[in-house]
Structure 1
Amino acid sequence: MKDGEHMKKLIVILSIFLLVTGCSTKTNEPKEMTFDERMLMLIQECISDYNTSVAADSIIHTLDTPPLPVEIETITQIESLKDLKTREDDHSNAKYIAELDLNPYKMVFHIYGECDSFWACGEASFEVDIDTIYPDNPKLASTKTILDELLAKDRKAFDYLYGIGVELANQESEKYPGYYQVINTAEIENPTSIDQIKNYVEQVFDINFISQFYAEVFESESPIYIEDNGVLYCIQNVPSITDEQVFNTSLIISSKEIENQILVDIVSSYGDIIDPELKRIIITKTENGYRLGGLY
């Protein structure tokens, strides 16, 4: 073979090699997802997590995310965004809002960006069709009675925990600047110890729930209360607490008993306006009666 022909053959082989490897490189490059493809992926992840109890429990406790309605055990996975109904902008700044029909409920998705995980940029909630609500359902009368008793005291107990509504001495403590001796409360006469505050709030809240606030209230660098030699002091400038949720116990949607708990799905109302978003209240059965074990 002549040198010229040999050279031409090498060039052809090299060209074919470069062409093949070039195509292979392009083929292996990840395809960039479209907006709709990413929204579908994120929502499918959310549904999958809700259907996996371990993941769902972790998400609920970490992100304060509402659990599945008690009447629903699993959610059918969607195959396309066409399985959803998009919603108009609700002034939440979400880039994508859609709902999934779970008759008589709706699962609502708010996605605020194009992230890689739903929980990094999304929120899920559940709503009930208000036309299906049966006010003062007699089947839920016993649950309503328990809730009425607990919710009549929960705000006051939480206020006391954070030093709100506590009667203080006029003179500031010399030993603890910014703190004043606790003189009285409406429910605890002449309180002298942190244990008295704890005992009161634990008559309303399950200890496993309310104790998560104890580190901030009693043990932080600037605690709400200080106990010293039989004297209880409280900081004067107590932190503000957000407005309480107005649960309407006439609008209990459903309930379910599991082991030592009653799971209650309920909605809020403001005057004649009903908020369709489901809230979860957990009632814990203890040796000393019923306690509030969680609010979502």
Structure 2
Amino acid sequence: MKKCLALFLLICTLTGCSPKSEEPKELTFEEKVLLLIQECIDDYNTSIAADSIIHQIDTPPLPISIGTIPQIEKLSELKPVEDDHSNAEFIGTLKINEYQMVFHLYSACDSFWQCGEASFQIDTTTIRPDSPTFTSTKAILDELLAVDREAFGYLYGIGVDLVPEESTAHPGYYEVLNTVNIENPTSINQIKEYVETVFDKEFILQFYPEVFESESPIYIEDNGKLYSIENAPSITDEQNYNTSLIINTQETEDKILVDIVTSYGDTIDPELKRIEISKTENGYRLAGLY
């Protein structure tokens, strides 16, 4: 009997009559969406991945009061959202304490961060305006945010007074007369020194290669004179960090993390933002805006 069975298996092997594996079933759109959102949650819950994620443009970190995000097992655990102003193929929210985590997926691709966005929203009616808990943080932010756009503008030649005549030695550039804070600047270092009174040096350094060292830099220094391209007169943005509506803070030895919302005029945006403030030997500096 054993010999007969062995012979049968050998014949099946040689003739190809062994059972064939089924072709993998193609996932539905909903199944792909579930996998992508699970990937997003796993990334946020893994510290190394989260550190990388929050440095992507417009990607917020976890709210200060949230340690981890509960993983979902099925798509029905999310509340679907319809938004006529969005071209996302799927929008869903996950309630986490007082927050809503919002997932936007614009297609079903190989990785959530290739075709999706995540954000956190809070019920603004639960926020206590001008909470005494955050009085000192508000004062620090008010001082820094009063000059951050102006300082960042200077970095790109915005709001800088230039002589009317174009430089013959450097076509396309104009000699810098002054800025509001720097009278008759003659060197790139003066621009850097002023900008670094507002922004943490490690943070602002990422912009220096483009501004000072690229093939077409914003500034050129030559023979004791500073030249700049002619740029827009100012940075305008109706959205402002509302320092009266700080949600939460976390302080470490060298940083203050601030969860906050923004306002468009009298309209409060419920989407959470994160501001990082560095403590330096020369005072407080903005170290990150998400």
TM-score by shorter chain over 0.5 = yes
Match of residue 80 from structure 2: 86
Select the structure that is richer in helix: 1
The equivalent position to 1:161 in structure 2, one of 155, 171, 176, is: 155
Tell me how far apart the structure 2 counterparts of residues 131 and 275 of structure 1 sit (CA, whole Å): 12
Against the structure 1 CA distance between its residues 79 and 196, is the aligned structure 2 distance closer, same or farther, given a 3 Å change threshold? same
TM-superposed CA distance for 1:239, in Å, is 9.8
Match of residue 173 from structure 1: 167
Kindly indicate whether the alpha-carbon contact (under 8 Å) linking 1:162 and 1:238 is maintained by their aligned counterparts in 2: no
The equivalent position to 2:284 in structure 1, one of 271, 290, 293, is: 290
Tell me how far apart the structure 1 counterparts of residues 139 and 160 of structure 2 sit (CA, whole Å): 29
Tell me how far apart the structure 1 counterparts of residues 30 and 15 of structure 2 sit (CA, whole Å): 37
Match of residue 3 from structure 1: none
Tell me how far apart the structure 2 counterparts of residues 20 and 34 of structure 1 sit (CA, whole Å): 30
Tell me how far apart the structure 2 counterparts of residues 153 and 255 of structure 1 sit (CA, whole Å): 22
The equivalent position to 1:280 in structure 2, one of 274, 277, 281, is: 274
TM-score normalised by L of structure 1: 0.90
TM-superposed CA distance for 1:120, in Å, is 1.0
TM-align CA RMSD: 2.1
Kindly indicate whether the alpha-carbon contact (under 8 Å) linking 1:224 and 1:238 is maintained by their aligned counterparts in 2: no
Number of residue pairs matched?
282
Q: 5+ residue gaps in structure 1?
A: 1-9
Match of residue 131 from structure 1: 125
Kindly indicate whether the alpha-carbon contact (under 8 Å) linking 1:283 and 1:293 is maintained by their aligned counterparts in 2: yes
Tell me how far apart the structure 2 counterparts of residues 163 and 41 of structure 1 sit (CA, whole Å): 45
Tell me how far apart the structure 2 counterparts of residues 263 and 244 of structure 1 sit (CA, whole Å): 24
Tell me how far apart the structure 2 counterparts of residues 201 and 237 of structure 1 sit (CA, whole Å): 18
Tell me how far apart the structure 1 counterparts of residues 136 and 236 of structure 2 sit (CA, whole Å): 30
Tell me how far apart the structure 2 counterparts of residues 161 and 150 of structure 1 sit (CA, whole Å): 16
The equivalent position to 1:45 in structure 2, one of 39, 49, 53, is: 39
Tell me how far apart the structure 2 counterparts of residues 255 and 215 of structure 1 sit (CA, whole Å): 32
3-state SS, counterpart of residue 232 of structure 1? strand
Query: Which protein has the larger Cα radius of gyration, Structure 1 or Structure 2?
Result: 1
Find runs of 4+ consecutive structure 1 residues off by over 6 angstroms. none
Kindly indicate whether the alpha-carbon contact (under 8 Å) linking 2:149 and 2:235 is maintained by their aligned counterparts in 1: no
3-state SS, counterpart of residue 260 of structure 2? strand
Match of residue 134 from structure 2: 140
Kindly indicate whether the alpha-carbon contact (under 8 Å) linking 2:50 and 2:61 is maintained by their aligned counterparts in 1: yes
Tell me how far apart the structure 2 counterparts of residues 271 and 240 of structure 1 sit (CA, whole Å): 19
TM-score normalised by L of structure 2: 0.92
Pair 1:25 & 2:8 matched: no
Match of residue 5 from structure 1: none
Q: 5+ residue gaps in structure 2?
A: 1-7
Against the structure 1 CA distance between its residues 212 and 173, is the aligned structure 2 distance closer, same or farther, given a 3 Å change threshold? same
Against the structure 1 CA distance between its residues 163 and 287, is the aligned structure 2 distance closer, same or farther, given a 3 Å change threshold? same
Against the structure 1 CA distance between its residues 159 and 237, is the aligned structure 2 distance closer, same or farther, given a 3 Å change threshold? closer
| Equivalent position amino acid for 2:266 in 1 | D
Matches within 5 A, 1:247-258: 247-258=241-252
| Equivalent position amino acid for 2:247 in 1 | I
Match of residue 152 from structure 1: 146
Match of residue 226 from structure 1: 220
Match of residue 4 from structure 2: none
TM-superposed CA distance for 1:36, in Å, is 1.4
Pair 1:211 & 2:211 matched: no
Kindly indicate whether the alpha-carbon contact (under 8 Å) linking 1:162 and 1:239 is maintained by their aligned counterparts in 2: no
TM-superposed CA distance for 1:258, in Å, is 2.3
Against the structure 1 CA distance between its residues 202 and 75, is the aligned structure 2 distance closer, same or farther, given a 3 Å change threshold? same
Against the structure 1 CA distance between its residues 139 and 237, is the aligned structure 2 distance closer, same or farther, given a 3 Å change threshold? closer
Tell me how far apart the structure 2 counterparts of residues 17 and 35 of structure 1 sit (CA, whole Å): 39
Kindly indicate whether the alpha-carbon contact (under 8 Å) linking 1:155 and 1:244 is maintained by their aligned counterparts in 2: no
Quick one: percent identity of the two aligned structures? 68
TM-superposed CA distance for 1:17, in Å, is 6.0
Kindly indicate whether the alpha-carbon contact (under 8 Å) linking 2:158 and 2:231 is maintained by their aligned counterparts in 1: no
TM-superposed CA distance for 1:103, in Å, is 2.0
